[in-house]
Amino acid sequence: MNIVAVNGSPHGAKGATAILLAELVRSARAAGADVTTLELSDGTVGPCRACDTCHRVGTCPIKDDLARFRDPILAADAVVLASPNYLFSVSAQMKCFMDRCCGPLHMVALRGKYAAAVVSSGGEESGEVERYLLRFLRAFGASTVGSVGASAMELLDPARRPAARRAAAQLGADLVAAVAAKKSYPDQAAEQTAFAERMKAIVRFQKDRWTYEYQQWESRRWV
């Protein structure tokens, strides 16, 4: 079982987000999964330029490190996205990565895979960002197993840290169990179907311009 985690903190492995993510990773490994953690801070993934090349021909013309992060998540059984809370959303680094996955997102390329989200915040307000990441992952086609959030105050306080770490460890175990059991999440089906239908309608509408995506949908007999 291959799980890939992408951490969008500019502090990388030394940050608060990484403390929480590391606990999930440790627990998933203990449950038998192969887990790779990729730090966006180890490379450069710049902003999407909205050139539509990914929709038209299936590749991104920007010469940076996108493929180093995107391709492993597309090949994984499960994906974990981790980010600090930056003004009620994800870090700019994570947002660039998410935007640059727009081509595969149109193809709901994480269909059949599982996902989870990890967020750290300065205060006590990670829920909004957790929900945002989970929504993105479901739009991408994945079934979301859950999320975990904690404040840097919790993570840096020896008295409070164990509870946050326990929650992250539980999520790691739940993620592995979901992949192993091919667990279904009927409560997510309506949202996932509605998003995929919307993508299908957009790709159909753009079929003369977005020829790559139209052919992809058609070859899967989804059009």
Ligand X SMILES: Cc1cc2nc3c(=O)[nH]c(=O)nc-3n(C[C@H](O)[C@H](O)[C@H](O)COP(=O)(O)O)c2cc1C
Interacting residues with ligand X (CB under 6 A): 9, 11, 15-18, 84-88, 120-123, 125, 152
Q: For residues 96 and 152, which CB has a smaller minimum distance to ligand X in the complex?
A: 152
The residue whose Cβ lies closest to ligand X is: 15
Q: Are 24 and 172 in contact (CB under 8 A)?
A: yes
Q: Which is nearer to ligand X, 163 or 194 (CB)?
A: 163
**Nearest-CA neighbor of 134 among 92, 188, 77?**
188
Closest CB to ligand X among residues 88, 205: 88
CB of 160 to ligand X, least distance (A): 14
Instruction: Report the SS3 class of residue 146.
Output: strand
Strands 78-84 and 34-39: unpaired
Distance CA(101)–CA(121), nearest Å, equals 24
CB of 152 to ligand X, least distance (A): 4
Residue 131 CB, nearest distance to ligand X (Å)? 14
Q: How far is the CB of 121 from ligand X (least distance, A)?
A: 3
What is the spatial distance between Cα 124 and Cα 200, in angstroms, rounded to a whole number? 38
Task: Select 15 or 103, whichever has its Cβ closest to ligand X.
Answer: 15
Q: State how far the Cα of 114 lies from the Cα of 77, in Å rounded to an integer.
A: 7
CB of 206 to ligand X, least distance (A): 35
| Phi/psi at 144 (5° precision) | -95, 130
Closer residue to ligand X, CB minimum distance, 130 or 213: 130
E strand or H helix at 80: strand 78-84
